[in-house]
Structure 1
Amino acid sequence: MNLYVLTLSVLFTLSQQVPSSEKCTCELSHSQKVFPHDKLQTAEGNATDCNSRITPQKTLELESLLLGLERRLDQLHTDMSILEAEDDGQLYGVLSLYIIENEMTEIKLLLDKLNRTTLGHQDLTANTLLQVVKGRQDNKHLKADLKDCRTAINSTVAPTHPTQGTCPHGHLLNITGPRVYTAGEYPGSYPFGAWGRDPEPEAGKESWYWLVMLTSSNIYAHYVRLYSSLSALIIGVSTPGNVQIHSSNPTTNTIQGPNVVLYGGALYYNCYNKDAVCRFNLTSKTVTTSQLPAGTRYNSKGNFCRLDECYSYTDLDLATDESGVWVIYTTTQDYGNLVLSKVEEGQQPTLGQTWHTSVFKQSVTNTFMACGILYATRYVSKSTEEIFYSFDTSTGKENFNLGILINKMSSNIQSLNYSPVDQMLYTYCDSKMVSYKVLFG
């Protein structure tokens, strides 16, 4: 069973991650061997067929069943430990045995469903494996022919690697996944929001996850919801529950817009009706603010956009990386181009160094930070988003041709943030929570 799941996951990753194309400039001579277009078309046809057969939904179906089985087994082990430690041989023991019997029944149902799903995919996996083997053979011949072609006609290839600074992980190479895809506790109820992990959690909260949903007019929120683990978030069991900023929504210092982050036990977000960053301390329940420069666009006047549509109240985008918290925005002085500032921690948060870019914010759908580098995305299609731009704060260099693709599970990405804890991207997509693995090298 595990073999089929592993094979399918690997094939899905290989088939879905498409590297950016490279341009090849050639001077052709009729005396040379003709380029093998027929082999290229055959390989392309096999890849297209493979993509059509293996879908994210099939992979996620298996992953979800395995994750559910793993969580049920953990719970059964916990219940058995309690029974062994506290069984009084009477009423408590009977109740505990009923609980364990229910757990065993649910585990059996999960196993039956997993077996049916696995058997249903065996033919698909075997056929796809044969296609991949044949595709590799064709690709081997194609590479040999391409090498001969390049040597013969003295072609020139221009590499397009992302501009990078001093990142401990190396270059950002690709985005794989999704790893998690869940509707969570309120499926379909709140299309705008954000979720993720605290890169600097308080002791004992290392496994916690947080969720902010815009519960008023898809614009405002007044609390952050906490979950003790990823499995708790997926099945919708919130412990300790909500931490409220204010009883009213919206009001002074509550949340405006979806692009929020949690860092060091504090929530950073766009303050309600202000051109300022708010920091809400979840322990002390206090709010402190940091004023942004004069001319900063806010109240839905400087949004992220795609094609002819913009995402309302996305004027400020808060982000985290290995060095802390950042804020991405735009000003009238910068004519709508992205501006990036470091948020310095302290009793009162302040803005540190600021960088000015030449990328127009309305051509961007979202941004995130990783290793001191700003990355921007744009809409390609309902199923694909592209990381097309980077700005390196250590060198000031920009790159407009990254070509790193993200396989979307929904048309829109309302929030996008990188977590240095696990090198994951956490996205909120039309009320669904989706995560991706960031590959460095």
Structure 2
Amino acid sequence: MLPILLLLLPVLSPAAAWIPVEDWESGNVTASVGESDQCVCHVYLPDTTFPADRVYHMQQVSKDLILDVDIQMNKLVSYGGKLEIYLKDLQDLTVRVAMLESSPDSYIKLDFELLRIELREFEALVSQLKDSLNSSSPMFDSLYTEIQNMTLIVNQLETYDKSNLEVIRIEFAKLQRKLEECQKDQEFIKPDIGNCNHTGIMSLSKPTVVQLNAHLNSGYEYGGWGKDSKPLRGYESMYFYGAYTNPSVHDFYLYSDYETLILRSAFKHHDIPNGWEGSGNNYIVHGNTIYYQINTPFSMSKLNLTSSKYDYRVIPAASQKFSYSYSDKQNLDFAADENGLWVMYASVESKGKIVLAKIDEKSFGIAKEWKTGVFKQMAGNAFMACGVMYATRSVDLNTEEIYYAFNTKTRTEKHLNIRFQKFQEKYSNLHYNPTDQKLYMYNNGYYVSYNVRFNRE
């Protein structure tokens, strides 16, 4: 059979397939034989072809319309979310205005002005939403009415605010007196940094309770905070903090200064790796290094805050049987003062009494030891200041007492009765810092500090 070649003249557009064969006129189809004995059919389409170009145009228009609809829908969703936020804030404002209505005399002029500013902002936001949607609705009308009503209430309440001026004067006078007392207290115990020409601690200031720990959780009752007792240049203002729900040590936070500590904005977080976790909470930072206790093996450990290098040293005589009265596992207690770095522990040989040891910072070993007369389990905690070890104990729920001192220079001990206030009954970390002559206490989840006054007679 001869091959058949179908030629469409003119060239058929895709729309030609839509024309039924029975609609073709017989005169529009002719046949002939080509040069290569091929059968060639010629089909001539009528003038009434399908309007494919118009269909294509309609398709493009439809796509553009669909895209516009999607954009408008997204706007509606966005405005809906914003409107929910504005409604919630407006409800909060309604509550605040109701509080003003109930006791207008307890608020000052600034409160009213702030409310008026916020009401004006809400009115502008509602107008913006209304313009964006290019429509009006009962919801917008209701919002406008509520905002206007609250504005009237605030303006009326402010007219009854005359008594606040006298209240403010009284409160300001009270605050001024407190500031003067605080200033006198600070001058009374003005520190003489680095000077140990005294006969020991005379008294402590009232406790300064900074705030709840950086976790904002009172369940973190174990831990410690404070400053580097021998800071590197540029880190004099650095603070450290670590807290846990049990007497363990598994991470530390570092803050560049006091403000970042309060704002809980740490510049570094050390997460202690497996095998180096500690126990007890009597750790300190000294020379850009954190010294703390580990249990496997039971030894003193240190972490360099710059290199993140760990090291440990075993104290053969130290025992895990003796801890302070407020917390378990406080077997090794690290301290620092004007004379260097120290560690305190109890042993079986000392029959549970505290052994004071001077640490050689270079070799990380024990340079010298002194036996004291303090039973560790009877003490709340202990610290060093100018080469003297001081031990504390509880007097009552709100009072602590420095009751014992051991002087390493004279090898003499003394019984004292220096009482100071506690914020809460128990605490897990108490240490002295020679750079500001303050005691830092981690008191049941709170940052607490004391100024130390020495007897310089």
Normalising by structure 1, we get a TM-score of 0.59
> Structure 1 172/116 Cα, relative in aligned 2: closer, same or farther at 3 Å?
farther
Extract unaligned runs of 5+ from structure 2.
Answer: 1-163, 181-194
The answer to whether 1:333 aligns with 2:349 is: yes
Question: Is the Cα–Cα contact under 8 Å of residues 180 and 436 in structure 1 kept in the other structure?
Answer: no
Question: Is the Cα–Cα contact under 8 Å of residues 209 and 423 in structure 2 kept in the other structure?
Answer: no
Q: Which residue of 2 aligns with 1:311?
A: 327
> Structure 1 118/349 Cα, relative in aligned 2: closer, same or farther at 3 Å?
farther
Report the Cα offset of residue 169 of structure 1: 5.1
Question: Is the Cα–Cα contact under 8 Å of residues 277 and 290 in structure 1 kept in the other structure?
Answer: yes
1:362 aligned counterpart, secondary structure: helix
CA RMSD of aligned residues (A): 2.5
Q: Which residue of 1 aligns with 2:319?
A: 297
Report the Cα offset of residue 120 of structure 1: 3.4
The answer to whether 1:243 aligns with 2:243 is: no
Structure 2 counterpart of 1:356, one-letter code:
K
> Structure 1 380/280 Cα, relative in aligned 2: closer, same or farther at 3 Å?
same
Q: Which residue of 2 aligns with 1:119?
A: 170
Q: Which residue of 2 aligns with 1:434?
A: 448
Task: Output the CA distance in 2 between the equivalents of 1:219 and 1:242.
Answer: 19
Bigger Rg, which one: 2
Higher relative contact order (CA 8 A, sep 6+): 1
Match of 1:277 among 289, 300, 310: 300
The structure 1 segments of at least 4 consecutive aligned residues displaced by more than 6 Å after TM superposition are 115-118, 123-126
Task: Figure out how many residues of one structure are paired with residues of the other and give that number.
Answer: 275
Q: Which residue of 2 aligns with 1:177?
A: 206
Structure 2 counterpart of 1:423, one-letter code:
Q
Task: Output the CA distance in 2 between the equivalents of 1:312 and 1:180.
Answer: 24
The answer to whether 1:211 aligns with 2:241 is: yes
Match of 2:437 among 423, 426, 439: 423
2:295 aligned counterpart, secondary structure: coil
Q: Which residue of 2 aligns with 1:233?
A: 261
Report the Cα offset of residue 170 of structure 1: 4.9
Task: Output the CA distance in 2 between the equivalents of 1:118 and 1:324.
Answer: 50
Report the Cα offset of residue 186 of structure 1: 1.7
Superposed CA deviations along residues 262-284 of structure 1, whole A, max 9, x for unmatched, are: 00010001113433110111111
Task: Output the CA distance in 1 between the equivalents of 2:350 and 2:199.
Answer: 31
Question: Is the Cα–Cα contact under 8 Å of residues 184 and 235 in structure 1 kept in the other structure?
Answer: no
Task: Output the CA distance in 2 between the equivalents of 1:286 and 1:262.
Answer: 14
Report the Cα offset of residue 350 of structure 1: 0.4
Match of 1:387 among 380, 392, 402: 402
2:246 aligned counterpart, secondary structure: coil
Superposed CA deviations along residues 182-233 of structure 1, whole A, max 9, x for unmatched, are: 114222141000111112112211111001213xx51222221011111221
1:4-403 correspondence to structure 2 within 5 Å: 119-120=170-171, 122=173, 167-168=196-197, 170-187=199-216, 188-214=218-244, 217-238=245-266, 240-246=267-273, 251-294=274-317, 296-298=318-320, 301-305=321-325, 310-346=326-362, 348-400=363-415, 402-403=416-417
Normalising by structure 2, we get a TM-score of 0.57
Matched-pair identity in %: 33
Task: Output the CA distance in 2 between the equivalents of 1:293 and 1:224.
Answer: 27
Superposed CA deviations along residues 78-97 of structure 1, whole A, max 9, x for unmatched, are: xxxxxxxxxxxxxxxxxxxx
Question: Is the Cα–Cα contact under 8 Å of residues 256 and 273 in structure 1 kept in the other structure?
Answer: no
Task: Output the CA distance in 1 between the equivalents of 2:260 and 2:411.
Answer: 42
1:253 aligned counterpart, secondary structure: coil
Question: Is the Cα–Cα contact under 8 Å of residues 184 and 234 in structure 1 kept in the other structure?
Answer: no
Extract unaligned runs of 5+ from structure 1.
Answer: 1-112, 130-165
